[in-house]
Every structure is written in structure tokens, then in C-alpha cells.
């Protein structure tokens, strides 16, 4: 079973996760201050403050990075080069492959592409592998 750990502030990532779990049946775990990743999985987060990683995501990753296979981020294309930049920063800071970036709550095409990436490129992949950096 695939586990996704996610952080959502404005509801965009939550809506993405709701659609994703309805289609796939994958297990989604909303990040809280004290969440410990019991199972290995993937991270989906958001970008804040024009390209920054959310503090809640940083805290989660500091405690759980060894259990995370890949990172995906939502963002807003209006931010130009800062679009989804949280994923780039998490990838670099925690040596985790960047899987995907999507705008706001994502389209059905985004969800299908994300499913394909997770199923075919990184389900069970080894942490630190850079073969995923296709975003």
C-alpha cells in the first residue's frame, strides 16, 4: 500500500489528496506537529511566501526524512521561477528526489501524472536516488 504524507494550508493540497485517495485508495496522512511516519511513503506539500518550505513540513521532514521516498509540491505559476520551489528546497535539504509539481489543487491530468510517477518510478525506490528528478 502506498502512503502519502501531506501538508495543506489553504486547502489546495487537501483537495488534491481527496481526489487522489478517492481514485487510488492510497493512505493519506495529514501532517501535524507530532506526526511520526510509521510507514515509508511520499511527501506532498505546498509552497509559501514566494518559494519557501512551510515550517510544518520542515519539522515533519526533520523527524521523518528517512521514511520519505519523494517530494511533490503545489504552487502558483504566477510566482514564476518560485513555482513549487518548496519541493526543490526539500529535495536539496533532505536529499530526496523531486517527483512532481502542480498548480493550486491540480487538474485530473496532474493527478493521473502523479499516480503514474509514483507507481512507475518511485514506489519502493531507495531514498536518495535522483532518477526521479523529472519535475
SS3 sequence of the chain: CCEEEECCCCCHHHHHHHHHHHHHCCEEEECCCCCCCCCCEEEEEECECCCECCHHHHHHHHHHHHHEEEEEEEECHHHHHHCCHHHHHHHHHHCCCEEEEEECCCCHHHHHHHHHHHHHHHCCCCCCCCCCCCC
pLDDT value of position 122:
63
Average pLDDT over the chain reads: 87
Residue 21 has pLDDT above 80, yes or no: yes
* 121 vs 116 pLDDT, higher one: 116
Tell me what the mean pLDDT of segment 7-17 comes to.
Answer: 93
Tens digits of residue pLDDT in 34-55 = 999 999 999 999 988 877 889 9
Fold of 9-13+15-41+52-122: Rossmann fold (3.40.50)
Tens digits of residue pLDDT in 86-108 = 999 999 999 999 999 988 888 99
pLDDT value of position 124:
53
Amino acid at each position: 500500500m502506498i502512503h502519502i504524507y501531506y501538508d495543506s494550508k489553504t486547502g489546495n493540497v487537501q483537495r488534491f489528496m481527496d481526489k487522489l485517495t478517492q481514485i487510488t485508495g492510497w493512505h493519506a496522512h495529514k501532517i501535524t506537529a507530532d506526526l511520526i511516519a510509521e510507514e515509508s511513503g511520499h511527501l506532498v506539500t505546498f509552497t509559501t511566501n514566494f518559494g519557501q518550505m512551510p515550517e510544518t513540513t520542515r519539522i515533519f521532514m526533520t523527524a521523518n526524512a528517512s521514511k520519505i521516498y519523494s517530494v511533490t509540491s503545489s504552487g502558483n505559476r504566477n510566482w514564476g521561477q518560485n513555482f513549487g520551489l518548496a519541493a526543490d528546497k526539500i529535495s536539496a535539504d533532505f536529499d530526496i528526489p523531486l517527483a512532481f509539481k502542480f498548480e493550486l489543487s491540480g487538474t485530473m491530468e496532474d493527478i493521473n501524472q502523479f499516480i503514474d510517477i509514483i507507481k512507475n518510478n518511485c514506489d519502493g525506490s531507495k531514498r536518495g536516488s535522483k532518477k526521479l528528478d523529472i519535475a
